[in-house]
Amino acid sequence: MKKLLFNGFLLSSFAALLVACSDETDAPADGEAQGNTNSSGDAISAIQDRGELILGAGDQLPGFGYVGSDGEFVGFDIEFGKVMAAAILGDAEKIEFRPLSAQERFTALQTGEVDILIRNTTWTLNRDVEIGLNFGPTTFYDGQGMMAPSDSGIESLEDLEGARIGVEQGTTTELNLADQMSKRGIDFETVTFSDQDSLIAAYESGTIDAWTTDQSALVSRMDTLQDPEGHVILNEVMSKEPLGPAVLDGDDQFYEVMYWATNATIQAEEFGITSENVDDFLDTEDPDIARFLGVEENLGEQLGLENDYAYQIIKQVGNYAEIYDRNLGADSPFNLDRGLNALYLDGGLLYSPPFR
Ligand SMILES: N[C@@H](CCC(=O)N[C@@H](CS)C(=O)NCC(=O)O)C(=O)O
């Protein structure tokens, strides 16, 4: 059922003309961009000298970023952090994780507390220009949805007249909600929370009537509710939420590594190269694949990396489909269809530029 709901969203989100996200509340104070490694232009050397990538991540969102029962950080976003560590350090495990709330995440990047942010973060103009981020390829095309108890009689946004609706501070969510409700002439009350766990606690206790965030997060948190079957995700999709990794402006090399390392997972899926079969391709006669894996030419060196960086990504972490299936798709509790997150060859939006 969840799978169908989500798929419905993915299709409808593409068809709808939706509001752009702007969240000025995320803007940092003047001067916060001082002293970070990224903007100095040598983040790659700093990470290599340190021997570890510092990853700003989420820890409250199953499927994307959370702490598993063994105390390890796991999830789709976490694995894209591993992609970066494999590319830069040749070892996907050399990561120090910094769990960040939505509100903390941009300051952490700007002050140099983290090298890269991979935390279900939406690419918006405001974050790109005003906050000074450089977004990598979108790893998950999402959209904002709404959850309410099934027995509440709430079946559409129109049924939320007078409702108290929970959102998390420092997200795109609050403005999207205000815009959509004002367009529909619906009066409601926004109740903000500093983190997702406190929002969920308020929702479960009935202090708020409904809550809203990215559809993927609604699906993921539904399973953690006391009665997962007792809630519905409404059909309306309120925004476009392209989620992906981000670094600070000012370091072209780091940006390019983030860009091509992420795309390497997508290109590997297109080539049919997986963590299981990548060694079989090392003596390939296909020049595109030989170049991609660093068997021929020097694409890795052009990025300032080892020439086998793409091989290391695929061998140690996997291609996009493997990462998706493990965390969100068929091999996960969420069983989400790929939808817009399929390769362009399969009707989705994932399309890597050529590795040449
Ligand atoms: N994609 C949106 C929303 C991201 C977000 O932080 N959503 C909340 C949903 S309540 C979340 O994932 N919280 C998890 C956490 O606090 O660890 C954005 O970039 O602003």
Q: Cα–Cα distance between 177 and 18 in angstroms, integer?
A: 12
Spacing, Cα 122 to ligand 1 middle (Å): 9
Q: Cα–Cα distance between 248 and 245 in angstroms, integer?
A: 11
Show the tokens assigned to 90. 């040749």
Name the closest-CA residue to atom 10, ligand 1: 196
3-state secondary structure of 55: strand
Q: What is the pLDDT of residues 203-258, one digit of tens each?
A: 999 999 999 999 999 999 999 999 999 999 999 999 999 999 999 999 999 999 99
Residue pair 52/95 in contact by the 8 Å Cβ criterion: yes
Q: What's the distance, CA 339 to chain centroid?
A: 16
Residue 37 clears pLDDT 90, i.e. is over it? no
Phi and psi torsions of 70, nearest 5°: -90, 10
Q: What is the pLDDT of residues 112-148, one digit of tens each?
A: 999 999 999 999 999 999 999 999 999 999 999 999 9
Instruction: Name the maximum alpha-carbon separation found in the chain.
Output: 65
Spacing, Cα 294 to ligand 1 middle (Å): 37
Ligand 1 in reach of 175 Cβ (< 6 A): no
Confidence of residue 57 (pLDDT cuts 50, 70, 90): very high
Ligand 1 in reach of 215 Cβ (< 6 A): no
Residue 1 clears pLDDT 60, i.e. is over it? no
Ligand 1 in reach of 138 Cβ (< 6 A): no
In this structure, the number of other CB atoms found within 10 A of the CB of residue 43 comes to 26
3-state secondary structure of 264: helix
Q: Where do the H-state alpha helices sit in 187-308? A: 196-205, 215-222, 252-271, 287-292, 299-302
Q: Cα–Cα distance between 351 and 84 in angstroms, integer?
A: 19
DSSP letter for each residue of 252-263: HHHHHHHHHHHH
Phi and psi torsions of 107, nearest 5°: -65, -40
Apex 198 CA angle, 194 and 199, nearest 5: 85
Confidence of residue 35 (pLDDT cuts 50, 70, 90): very low
Q: Which of these, 199, 198, 247, 343, lies nearest to 36 by C-alpha position?
A: 247
Phi and psi torsions of 65, nearest 5°: -155, 115
pLDDT above 70 as % of the chain? 88
Q: Give the H/E segment covering residue 242.
A: strand 241-243
Residue pair 237/16 in contact by the 8 Å Cβ criterion: yes
3-state secondary structure of 24: helix
Spacing, Cα 107 to ligand 1 middle (Å): 15
Confidence of residue 271 (pLDDT cuts 50, 70, 90): very high
Q: What is the pLDDT of residues 280-327, one digit of tens each?
A: 999 999 999 999 999 999 999 999 999 999 999 999 999 999 999 999
Show the tokens assigned to 33. 């961009």
Q: Which of these, 231, 217, 213, lies nearest to 146 by C-alpha position?
A: 213
Ligand 1 in reach of 195 Cβ (< 6 A): yes
Ligand 1 in reach of 118 Cβ (< 6 A): no
3-state secondary structure of 201: helix
Q: What is the pLDDT of residues 161-196, one digit of tens each?
A: 999 999 999 999 999 999 999 999 999 999 999 999
pTM for the predicted model, two decimal places: 0.90
Spacing, Cα 288 to ligand 1 middle (Å): 38
Domains recognised in the chain with CATH numbers: 1-146+213-356 (3.40.190.10)
CB within 8 A of 120, min separation 6: which ones?
Answer: 58, 61, 64, 65, 77, 140, 142, 214, 216, 217, 243
Ligand 1 in reach of 173 Cβ (< 6 A): yes
Spacing, Cα 174 to ligand 1 middle (Å): 11
Spacing, Cα 323 to ligand 1 middle (Å): 20
Ligand 1 atom at shortest distance from the alpha carbon of 195: 16
Q: In testing the pocket of ligand 1, which one of 175, 213, 239 has its CB within 8 Å of the most ligand atoms? A: 213
Q: In testing the pocket of ligand 1, which one of 173, 215, 222, 241 has its CB within 8 Å of the most ligand atoms? A: 173
Ligand 1 in reach of 171 Cβ (< 6 A): yes
User: Quick one: 51 exposed, middle or buried, by C-beta within 10 A (0-12, 13-18, 19+)?
Assistant: exposed
Distances (CA, A) of 83 to 42, 53, 137: 19, 11, 13
Q: Cα–Cα distance between 232 and 147 in angstroms, integer?
A: 6
